[in-house]
Structure 1
Amino acid sequence: MSICGIGIDHIDIAKFKSVLEKRRERFIKRIFTEKERELAGQKNFLMTLAGRYVSKEAVFKALSPAKNSGISWKDIEVLNEESGTPIVTLYGKALELFNEKNMKKIFISISHTNTCAFAMVVVEKD
């Protein structure tokens, strides 16, 4: 196995909060899957969604799609295993690209401070 993609992203929590305050329902429904929205309702809503948002950005960067790839926000879903470990599931165009590039595994780490959310993604292929 070899590394074929790396993605890193972060966001200021205050900035993310202001976006949510302006366009909350529309933004949340456009960006997050139903399961991600359910997860956010069970935990610290703001931090959970901020972490998922930067995770999706980091996955997108690691996949390195062409400009007009057609990948939507909901093609990338970030949930947690029972242990709490974050896990990425791809759908639609993101999954097609993953398979076309013979990618095999996605590793993800999400972290938060009081002011920022961060995510790092590494993608492996054969």
Structure 2
Amino acid sequence: MIVGVGIDVVDVERFGESLARTPALRQRLFTPGEAGRPLASLAARFAAKEAVAKALGAPVGMAWHDAEVFSEESGRPYFVLRGTVLARAEQLGATSVHLSLSHDAGIASAVVVLEGGPSGTTLAK
């Protein structure tokens, strides 16, 4: 059962200008493991965090670092949820999170699907 869907798009150049204009933004939005990635990858990860927020119903007080994007060896992205984000996902009955990222032609995008399932399934990878 799907319990939430979110999508977001980010203009990569504009996002880069925001990071340059406000250097502290990088540390506020991204974990140390995410922060050193190339600009297009950062923009896609920001889109992912926005998309998961939308899938969760845009909860007040969501901490950006509580939704961290990793990549498998194959390149497939996945979330590790913790804290405020994990609590809201569990409140909605989500048991898994699906993530797709893309960046091309100056646009980064992300789609998130939260799925509920049988008891005992976990959001943790």
TM-score bucket (shorter structure): 0.7 to 0.9
Greater helix share, 1 or 2?
A: 1
* Cα shift at 1:46: 0.7
1:67-105 Cα offsets, whole Å, 9 max, x none, are x3x211111111101111000011111111111222111
Structure 1 segments (4+ residues) deviating >6 Å? none
Unaligned runs of 5+ in 2: 118-125
Aligned to 2:75: 84
Aligned to 1:20: 19
- Taking the TM superposition and a 5 Å limit, the aligned residue runs for 1:1-126 are 2-24=1-23, 26-38=24-36, 40=37, 45-66=38-59, 68=60, 70-126=61-117
SS of structure 2 residue aligned to 1:29: helix
Which whole-Å CA distance do the structure 2 matches of 1:4 and 1:99 have between them? 10
SS of structure 2 residue aligned to 1:8: strand
* Cα shift at 1:35: 1.4
2:35 maps to a residue whose letter is R
Which whole-Å CA distance do the structure 1 matches of 2:66 and 2:94 have between them? 16
Q: TM-score, normalised by structure 2?
A: 0.88
Which whole-Å CA distance do the structure 1 matches of 2:35 and 2:113 have between them? 24
**Residue pair 1:65, 1:97 contacting (<8 A) in 2 also:** no
Which whole-Å CA distance do the structure 2 matches of 1:19 and 1:4 have between them? 32
- Quote the RMSD (CA, aligned, Å): 1.2
SS of structure 2 residue aligned to 1:4: strand
Which whole-Å CA distance do the structure 2 matches of 1:86 and 1:121 have between them? 11
Q: Percent identity?
A: 38
* Cα shift at 1:65: 4.2
